A = this chain, B = another copy of it.
Amino acid sequence: MTLDELLKDRSEEAKSTYLSHISIDCVVFGFDNGTIKVLLVRMKGKRHWMLPGGFVENHEDIDDAAIRILTARTGADKVYLQQFATFGKKDRSQAFFKQSPALWHAQRFISIGYFAMVDFNQVIPVADDISDKCEWLPLQELPALAMDHSTILSKALKTLQTQVNYQPIGLNLLPQEFTLPELQKLYESILGRTLNRGNFYRKIMALDILEKLDEPRKGGAHKAPNLYSFNVKKYNEAFENGIYDRW
């Protein structure tokens, strides 16, 4: 079946299950091999990648809807999810279904954006039955996305870039144990620029959210690098209270 046939089959059920005019789009960030990646899907027969998304059930909180949508794509049941903006230009999604305007899915949608940070290694991307692909793509090499999804993604990234100035980051993106160069790479990948190593170490240590492990990483020809993990209690306190008070 084509995408339109599949969606036509579901239009009636969608109409009775979901609120009209409201959708959710998820920007899922993962960190792999020193670079930020984003989870994207491609619907059957469509040329452009898009953000994984879905709709809000009639009697469902929007935050619960976002978790449900994300879990279906990633298999991950505990992810950090944060609403960051809502997108409602009048023509943001109409063109996508212009050849089948009678579909429930072709109505005007205002989309609530959530971003998620997940441990790349814990996620198995799942393509649903209206998509032929669900994959991680590197943030720095993304193609143009469908609808206004490039705008949504940019806003999520900008939010994250601002947020690292006043909240710690990494607990949900890094594996349990990591080296300081790996943590620096994470910051550099989010900020899109290199950081001075000495300054970064000094500043990250000043946050007092890291614990140095007794055993360095094993294997490799060079001197074994020290391993760290987050002190979750201190990390969460810093996340809640902010790491910086200008005034």
Smallest CB separation, A72 vs chain B (Å): 19
Chain A interface residue count, CB cutoff 8 Å, equals: 36
Q: Are B62 and A191 in contact (CB under 8 A)?
A: no
Q: Are B22 and A165 in contact (CB under 8 A)?
A: no
Within 8 A of B (CB), among A35-62: 56, 58-62
- A112 in contact (CB, < 8 A): yes
Residues of B within 8 A of A83 (CB): 85-86
Residues of B within 8 A of A233 (CB): none
Residues of B within 8 A of A60 (CB): 90
- A246 in contact (CB, < 8 A): yes
- Complex Cα distance, B162 from A19, in Å, reads 33
- Complex Cα distance, B110 from A58, in Å, reads 11
Residues A58 and B108 in contact in the complex (CB < 8 Å), given A20-B21, A247-B203: yes
Q: Are A108 and B19 in contact (CB under 8 A)?
A: yes
- A124 in contact (CB, < 8 A): no
Residues of B within 8 A of A85 (CB): 83
Task: Flag A157-184 by CB within 8 Å of B: 1 or 0 each.
Answer: 0000010111000000000000000000
Q: Are A247 and B191 in contact (CB under 8 A)?
A: yes
Q: CB < 8 Å: which of B112, B165, B244, B247 contacts A88?
A: B112
Q: Are A162 and B110 in contact (CB under 8 A)?
A: no
- A215 in contact (CB, < 8 A): no
Q: Are A164 and B195 in contact (CB under 8 A)?
A: no
Within 8 A of B (CB), among A12-46: 19-22
- A63 in contact (CB, < 8 A): yes
Smallest CB separation, A242 vs chain B (Å): 7
Residues of B within 8 A of A10 (CB): none
